[in-house]
Amino acid sequence: MADTMTNFKPVTRGDFSKLCILLSNDDGIAAQGIEVLERIARTLTDDVWVVAPSVERSGAGHSLTIHEPLRPVKISERRYSVSGTPTDCVMVAINHIMKESPPDLVLSGINHGGNLGEDVHYSGTIAAAMEGVLLGVRSIALSQVWNDAEVIDWSTAEHFAPGVIRKICAVGWGKDVLMNINFPERAISEVKGVAPATQGKHKVGDDLLLRHDPRGRPYMWIGNKRMSDASRAGTDLKAVDDGFISITPLNVDLTHAPTLAALGQVFPAP
């Protein structure tokens, strides 16, 4: 298990073969992205487990299933599906399926599409990694940006991910932090490098498409229109748009320290 100090203990190259890695996602157990991620994980260690939703759960965010039972199903050795959200999957994996030998690292993805800017608040991919962190396990979310969902090129992620994972795990980051990696839609030879980046502005969900069913009753779809700003230097959106692999550390503690300090001036502690 992870180190009990403030930070996760750095992992040296030689230590990776000793790690136990848990894989999950929000696109479902049959998704191509998690197949790619499993190949990536097996370049790091032989001890790889997969626990993922039985169906696609994109946009589930950090939600739990509390009004119906969860059904874990063993598909094969160290491979399970769960009838729940990505958060459910990681919770069931660590607290039940792998209880006797918990993972040292959670990898979530590879998501079919980027998780940039405000996407992180809705993303089940991010949520799976966040749940790993909340349960005390070093966690990384990985996503592949695309322009055409029917023709996703996974080769760039598969080529670069092992090295990126090794390098960031060699850094002892805080235990309330998960790493969010986004791979640009670029050929391997066109990737310009790896860029640590802040969270950009990338709102989704305001494009509501009104339709009517055969009986004339209205219904709505949430569309794909996004308000994005890829011009701000130093952001994940700018990095990926320029052909870099972006890495953004996300803190599970959402407290805004400056505002908390200002409130302390208005409401002084007793």
Residue 226: the pLDDT is 64
CATH code, domain carrying 36: 3.40.1210.10
Q: How far apart are CA 35 and CA 94, in angstroms?
A: 21
Token readout for 237 is 């959106």
Phi, psi angle pair for 112, to nearest 5°: -80, 85
Q: Which of 55-69, 82-96, 162-176, 226-240 has the lowest mean pLDDT?
A: 226-240
Residue 116, classified by CB atoms within 10 Å of its CB into exposed (0-12), middle (13-18) or buried (19+), is buried
Tokens 């939703």: give the residue. 53
What is the percentage of the chain residues whose pLDDT exceeds 90?
74
Over residues 36-85, the pLDDT tens digits come to 999 999 999 999 999 999 988 887 888 888 999 999 999 999 999 999 99
Whether residue 211 is contained in a domain is answered as: no
In a domain, 27, yes or no: yes
Domain residues for the domain of 156 are 13-202+229-266
Would you state the pLDDT for residue 199? 93
Q: What is the model's pLDDT at position 70? A: 93
- Residue 4's pLDDT is 44
Q: Which residues touch 208 (CB under 8 Å, ≥6 apart)? A: 220, 221, 222, 223
CB contact at 8 A, 109 and 158: no
Q: For all residues of the chain together, what is the average pLDDT? A: 91
Decide if 208 is inside a domain.
no
Tell me, what's the pLDDT at 37?
98
pTM for the full model?
0.91
Q: What pLDDT is attached to residue 210?
A: 86
pLDDT of residue 206: 63
Q: Is the pLDDT of residue 203 over 80?
A: no
Please check the confidence at residue 227 and state whether its pLDDT lies above 80: no
* Counted domains in the chain: 1
Q: What is the DSSP string of 37-106?
A: HHHHHTTT-SEEEEEEESS--TT--S----SS---EEEEETTEEEESS-HHHHHHHIIIIITTTS--SEE
Q: Is 188 a domain residue? A: yes
As a residue count, the chain comes to: 270
- Percent of the chain past pLDDT 70, that is, above it, reads 94
Q: What is the pLDDT of residue 80?
A: 98
| Phi-psi domain of 177 (left: phi exceeds 0; alpha: psi -120 through 50; beta: other) | beta
For residue 94, pLDDT over 70 is answered with: yes
pLDDT(268) > 60: yes
The answer to the question of residue 223 being in a domain is no
> How much is the pLDDT for 2?
42
pLDDT on residue 222: 75
In a domain, 2, yes or no: no
Q: How far is CA 70 from the centre of its chain?
A: 21
| Assigned domain for 60 exists | yes
> In this predicted structure, which of 14-18, 125-129, 131-135, 236-240 has the lowest mean pLDDT?
14-18
Residue 3 lies in a domain: no
Question: At how many degrees (to 10) do helices 32-41 and 155-169 cross?
Answer: 50
Give residue 228's pLDDT.
67
pLDDT at res. 149 = 75
Q: Residues 96-106: what's their mean pLDDT?
A: 96
